[in-house]
Structure 1
Amino acid sequence: MTSLAVEKKFGYSLPPYSPHTITAHLPGWKNAVSFRDGDKSMLPRLKSMYPRFTPWGHCRELAMKLCKTLSLPEGHFVFPFLEPGVFCFAQAHAFSEHRKEHRLSPEELDYRVVDVGEGSNAVRLYLLVFPLTKADGVGLIWGNAGVGISTRLAEALLPAVDDGKVVPVPWDALDDSKQHVAIWSAPKPTGVPEGEAHAKLRERIVGLWKRAAVTPEKADMVRADDVQLFPTGMAAIYRMHLALMQWRSGAVVPLGSIFHNTWHLYEEAPQGYKHFGRVDGAGKGLDEFEAYLEAEAEEGRKITYAFVEFPSNPILVSPDLKRLRELADKFDFLLVVDDTIGSFCNVDLSAVADIVMTSTTKSFSGYADVMGGSLVFNPASRLYASFKPVLEKFFLNEYFIGDAEKLLSNSADYLERSTILNRNALTLATWLDELKAKEPEYGITKVLYPTTSDTLDNYKLWMRKPTEEFTPGYGCLFSIEFGKKEDARIFYDNLEVFIGPHLGAHQTLAICFNELVLGKDPEVAKYHGAYGATLEQIRIAVGLEGEDELKKVFEVALEKVKEAKTSYSEK
């Protein structure tokens, strides 16, 4: 068990620091807003970073060496990937009107292929080349797709990069405007080799899928070859989406609150998307979704898949998966469920989901020093025999063995840690929900957690059975909503935990999540606020500290809110 009594330095990761840590302490509401709005003055102070945001550490060092190896003009940079299809995604992204003033012209985007290493150990890298002055127009190519190389892979490649060999690319396969790369004629990708850790990770996930299942007759059907591993959770979503568009191209329907990078990925999907936000007990989102499906069916159209988080980040709504399963069967689409927040140990979705996606970066790893993602294909799905071969055909291993080994080691105590995470989050959420009425001067208007939601019964329906080894719970994440943004800011600025993105780690983390990802555009904030994701919320991801220690720290911050209200009223 950890303690809150550890040093928290601006720009540093949760302890212990390593070149592969994925958090950064960024205290202060004002700093969060400045960072969101493009203030880069804090960057030199950052010693750690979530590596899916941008090439960081060894990744940045490798990219800079590649620039030198290729003799690129000064002021240019590269993003290294393991598969050529990302070039097409890069074009669609960089040339899109969504980039607004950061939009690139075709001549500002270039493509190279380099082999690093010798013989069978060589790794083929596909490089996206662009001027650094256009970084704001290409940054989310790395972030939204999540398929940039990892810091461990970059570290392994660094000694050989100076001797990297440029691989010819058939540029005559490009059209004159250079807007379309013929990826199928590009040099074939090598990916990275798998090792014993990959097999053991798949076995561990299968074991967790089967243990204490709600529907064991369905859960027991899954096998190791039903599990695919990816370098990040977003990579799992991105690769799945591309493959499913080959299976059956059509619109995607995200439901409720979903992670912001997932939202942006779907927002720009060429096949189109349709979002239904209010899927809690008070909303009519699923009724509207059904009406939409009826209208599409009348026009002879089917959606490809619906995507839903269970429960959702950051408002912890648990949608009615039973009804969604019925709609999926009636209207012939796939139901993809992201169980990252609920987590393998707590919920069994084998009776409802066709595919389960998990960011294994989070509580499955638990120590904030490795990234990963997984897909589990459900053999109980009536469409399993149809979609699985397509996802297998388009799969390339991009998960570096060093990351797989670290994730395997970290996840060995997954159930033990999850017991503490479940307990801490439930204790705090229950206590804060009680304070909402007892201490109105604290300014709390809602505590968002599965147990405080009107969708609790939806969650309970899929909770795994308790065993002597483990009792399922409701996950590590909750949010606190204040009546006024100023109260949220005071609480946030006085909360002595690590501040920054991530969840499921060994230390508690807080972040003004919605302000950070939605607050820049008032219309965007209004849209998402309408289904419950408001700017007055603070997202809390509990760690392994003691319950009483956490309560004391939260109480100090709440008292600061109370003091500010008292001071204001006296004036």
Structure 2
Amino acid sequence: MTVQRMATELGHAIPPEGPHTVTVHTPTWDTGIALINADQAVMQKITSSYPRIIPFGHAQTLCLAVHQKLALPATYGCHIFTDPHVFSVTQEHAFSHHRKEPRLLPADMIFKVVDIAGVYLYCVGFPMAKTQGFIGVWQNFGTGVSTRLAEHLLTQVDTLVEVPFDLAGNPTATYLPETAAHQALRERIAGLLNYAPIAPQKAVAPGDIYLYPSGMAAIYGMHRAIMQVRKGPMIGLGAIFVSTYLLIYEVPDGFKHFGACDAQSGVMDKLDAYLQSEAEAGRKVSYIFVEFPSNPLLVSVDLKRLRSLADQYNIIVAIDITIGSFCNVDVLPVADVVVSSLTKSFSGYADVMGGSVILNPSSRSYPALKKVYQATFHNEYFAGDAEKMLANSADYLGRSTILNRNAAAITDLLQAHVGKVGSPVLKVLYPSVCDTAANYAAFMRPATAEFTPGYGCLLSIDFTTLAAARAFYDNLQVNKGPHLGAHRTLAFNYNSTLGTDPEEVQYQAGYGLRREQVRISPGLEEVSELIEVFEDALKFAVAALQEGET
């Protein structure tokens, strides 16, 4: 049987395409890189996008409307945020020594607060020629207006008035109203966190769960709260999602990254030595951040040893379980704070964004963190997004069963090629076959009559050569682009989009982020269909490998 060619066109979303879809199809290796580099030949074909990469659709239209009403210079861009702290964040980011030329200057920036129908928005104007110096604020902090909020406000944009403010302080905020959907979402997440725990623990209450407009906004909010409880440098363990890495890499108090976290790395001994040296020097580490498992390497850190070290040195542990997901793993015996992007498998249909922060009531840091959240947290999650997230997540457990099954089936198929003579597959990266599999298994929830946990919806493939990886990717008949946990399978040459700085490329490759790697997020298709598609793509990788050897 001939594998059908992918029908999705460059720049479009996973079907069904709509005004709030968050995926963008990049059918070839080169178009994936071009997207991240904002190549105009590709950008002109985009009808949908991951909202944090660029504002699109209703969000872009609202930005343009506000730009016009504020009479900003024609050479300026304008992005709009829901977070009143964004002005100070923009200044810290845009004027940082980390920015490269063309570097933004204070005189370049325009800050405005507007009121549209009682909703305050925070507008940042910047020279379009210096977009690269600013765009990280939109991409890494995650508090830009959502497409649904923008759609709602566009119907009332004629009510726009400017609001006076003092740039020296945080502007006055109105924040967004909460609805029954917000409470129902918190209750659903609390139920998942408390269901089939791996050890006795205090139950998470809905009030311990804080909702954000995106996963990155949740991480940013968590970071800001922790820094009010315990200042100091922070530590990142293992591969960390690129936007998260870029956000925490630049924290003023310093950042220490331990990239290699596989079983052979000795990372916990290295971490112990580092913490001891910091303690002897009189320096306090603020918190340790880890993804469990990591994106895209699927390494599972030794959480038991991590908790022991955190207790010894009185450090907060923050764990991102986006990849493991609520239903598969229980990290509450270790984590002081749990974060997750709800945009991924929790939503499952790639048409709404959201994020969550969970404070663990069993943590000794809970009273201090709870006090900060009670004093500072305000809702920025639009009701329309909360309602859609609630509807999408109703079949979360059923979808997760299929995602786990499909990811495991593709892993088994590819794993059978590892070590074979002439095989283009060097290694399969999935929690069940990584050398840290025991670390993951130690935190898997027990099976129940309702759900059997698995190893998640993400895997990666290491190819022996770049040519083989490209041939596989370009001929793999699935949707491509930067997202995971959707209803249809997605592939992305993730590592090749992380930049081209030789030192950074070498550093990343040193702990596993090889350019010869392809990331796969299986969807809800039938196993037989996926096996056929992947076997077909492997033939092209074999041919490319053989051609390179002749």
User: Same fold by TM-score, threshold 0.5 exceeded?
Assistant: yes
- Cα deviation for residue 441 of structure 1 reads 2.6
Partner residue, 1:173: none
Q: Which moved more, 1:411-420 or 1:521-530?
A: 521-530
Q: Which moved more, 1:63-72 or 1:429-438?
A: 429-438
1:328-407 aligned at under 5 Å gives the runs 328-407=310-389
- Cα deviation for residue 38 of structure 1 reads 4.2
Find the partner of 2:433 among 426, 432, 452.
452
Q: Which moved more, 1:23-32 or 1:147-156?
A: 23-32
The answer (yes or no) to whether the contact 1:266–1:273 under 8 Å persists in 2 is: yes
Distance 2:9 2:465 in 1: 29
1:206-355 aligned at under 5 Å gives the runs 206-215=190-199, 217-218=200-201, 220-355=202-337
- Cα deviation for residue 500 of structure 1 reads 0.3
The answer (yes or no) to whether the contact 1:244–1:391 under 8 Å persists in 2 is: no
Q: CA separation of 1:568/1:457 partners in 2, compared to 1, >3 Å: closer, same or farther?
A: closer
1:461-500 aligned at under 5 Å gives the runs 461-500=442-481
The answer (yes or no) to whether the contact 2:6–2:478 under 8 Å persists in 1 is: no
- Cα deviation for residue 110 of structure 1 reads 1.4
Q: Which moved more, 1:35-44 or 1:337-346?
A: 35-44
The answer (yes or no) to whether the contact 2:34–2:42 under 8 Å persists in 1 is: no
Distance 1:299 1:238 in 2: 28
Task: Tell me the amino acid that sits aligned with residue 240 of structure 2.
Answer: I
Distance 1:377 1:147 in 2: 21
TM-score of the pair, normalised by structure 1: 0.94
Distance 1:415 1:267 in 2: 34
Distance 2:545 2:78 in 1: 50
1:103-182 aligned at under 5 Å gives the runs 103-117=103-117, 122-170=118-166, 181-182=167-168
Could you report, residue by residue, the CA deviation over 1:57-113 in whole angstroms, capped at 9, with x for unpaired residues?
A: 111100111111112222222211123211111011111222211310111011111
Distance 2:282 2:108 in 1: 41
Partner residue, 1:516: 497
- Cα deviation for residue 548 of structure 1 reads 1.2
Q: Secondary structure at the match of 1:254?
A: strand
Q: CA separation of 1:4/1:233 partners in 2, compared to 1, >3 Å: closer, same or farther?
A: farther
Could you report, residue by residue, the CA deviation over 1:528-571 in whole angstroms, capped at 9, with x for unpaired residues?
A: 111111111100000000111111111111111222344455x5
Distance 2:409 2:474 in 1: 22
Structure 1 segments unaligned to the other structure (5+ residues)? 171-180
The answer (yes or no) to whether the contact 2:467–2:545 under 8 Å persists in 1 is: no
Q: Secondary structure at the match of 2:416?
A: helix
Distance 1:297 1:9 in 2: 55
- Cα deviation for residue 51 of structure 1 reads 0.5
Find the partner of 2:522 among 511, 519, 542.
542
Partner residue, 1:410: 392
Could you report, residue by residue, the CA deviation over 1:105-125 in whole angstroms, capped at 9, with x for unpaired residues?
A: 1110111111000xxxx1001
Partner residue, 2:189: 205
Q: Which moved more, 1:38-47 or 1:136-145?
A: 38-47
Could you report, residue by residue, the CA deviation over 1:300-328 in whole angstroms, capped at 9, with x for unpaired residues?
A: 22111100000000000000000111111
The answer (yes or no) to whether the contact 2:5–2:477 under 8 Å persists in 1 is: no
- Cα deviation for residue 288 of structure 1 reads 1.3
Determine if the alignment matches structure 1 residue 43 to structure 2 residue 43.
yes
Partner residue, 2:178: 194
Distance 2:443 2:433 in 1: 17
Partner residue, 2:97: 97
The answer (yes or no) to whether the contact 1:508–1:543 under 8 Å persists in 2 is: yes
Q: Secondary structure at the match of 2:115?
A: strand
Distance 1:256 1:503 in 2: 19
- Cα deviation for residue 221 of structure 1 reads 2.0
The answer (yes or no) to whether the contact 2:337–2:360 under 8 Å persists in 1 is: yes
Determine if the alignment matches structure 1 residue 419 to structure 2 residue 411.
no
- Cα deviation for residue 239 of structure 1 reads 1.0
Q: Which moved more, 1:556-565 or 1:355-364?
A: 556-565
The answer (yes or no) to whether the contact 1:251–1:271 under 8 Å persists in 2 is: yes
Could you report, residue by residue, the CA deviation over 1:40-70 in whole angstroms, capped at 9, with x for unpaired residues?
A: 2211111100001121111110011111111
The answer (yes or no) to whether the contact 2:343–2:355 under 8 Å persists in 1 is: yes
- Cα deviation for residue 387 of structure 1 reads 1.7
The answer (yes or no) to whether the contact 2:297–2:460 under 8 Å persists in 1 is: yes
Q: Secondary structure at the match of 1:253?
A: strand
The answer (yes or no) to whether the contact 1:4–1:549 under 8 Å persists in 2 is: no
Distance 1:237 1:183 in 2: 23
Distance 1:436 1:292 in 2: 36
Structure 2 segments unaligned to the other structure (5+ residues)? none
- Cα deviation for residue 39 of structure 1 reads 1.8
Task: Tell me the amino acid that sits aligned with residue 127 of structure 2.
Answer: P
- Cα deviation for residue 481 of structure 1 reads 0.2
Q: Which moved more, 1:416-425 or 1:62-71?
A: 62-71
Distance 2:247 2:83 in 1: 18
Q: CA separation of 1:284/1:111 partners in 2, compared to 1, >3 Å: closer, same or farther?
A: same
The answer (yes or no) to whether the contact 1:4–1:497 under 8 Å persists in 2 is: no
The answer (yes or no) to whether the contact 1:195–1:401 under 8 Å persists in 2 is: yes
Q: Which moved more, 1:379-388 or 1:469-478?
A: 379-388
The answer (yes or no) to whether the contact 1:240–1:391 under 8 Å persists in 2 is: no
Distance 2:295 2:469 in 1: 18
Distance 2:427 2:102 in 1: 38
The answer (yes or no) to whether the contact 2:114–2:121 under 8 Å persists in 1 is: yes
Q: Secondary structure at the match of 1:363?
A: coil
Q: CA separation of 1:329/1:546 partners in 2, compared to 1, >3 Å: closer, same or farther?
A: same
The answer (yes or no) to whether the contact 2:6–2:479 under 8 Å persists in 1 is: no
The answer (yes or no) to whether the contact 2:465–2:545 under 8 Å persists in 1 is: no
Could you report, residue by residue, the CA deviation over 1:377-423 in whole angstroms, capped at 9, with x for unpaired residues?
A: 10111121122211332212110000000000000000000000000
Q: Secondary structure at the match of 2:255?
A: coil
Q: Secondary structure at the match of 2:125?
A: strand
Task: Tell me the amino acid that sits aligned with residue 354 of structure 2.
Answer: G
CA RMSD of superposed structures (Å): 1.4
The answer (yes or no) to whether the contact 2:424–2:545 under 8 Å persists in 1 is: no
Partner residue, 2:74: 74
The answer (yes or no) to whether the contact 2:467–2:544 under 8 Å persists in 1 is: no
Q: Secondary structure at the match of 2:92?
A: helix
Distance 1:43 1:346 in 2: 37
Q: Secondary structure at the match of 1:207?
A: helix
Identity of aligned residues (%): 49
Partner residue, 1:178: none
- Cα deviation for residue 183 of structure 1 reads 2.3
Distance 1:566 1:294 in 2: 51
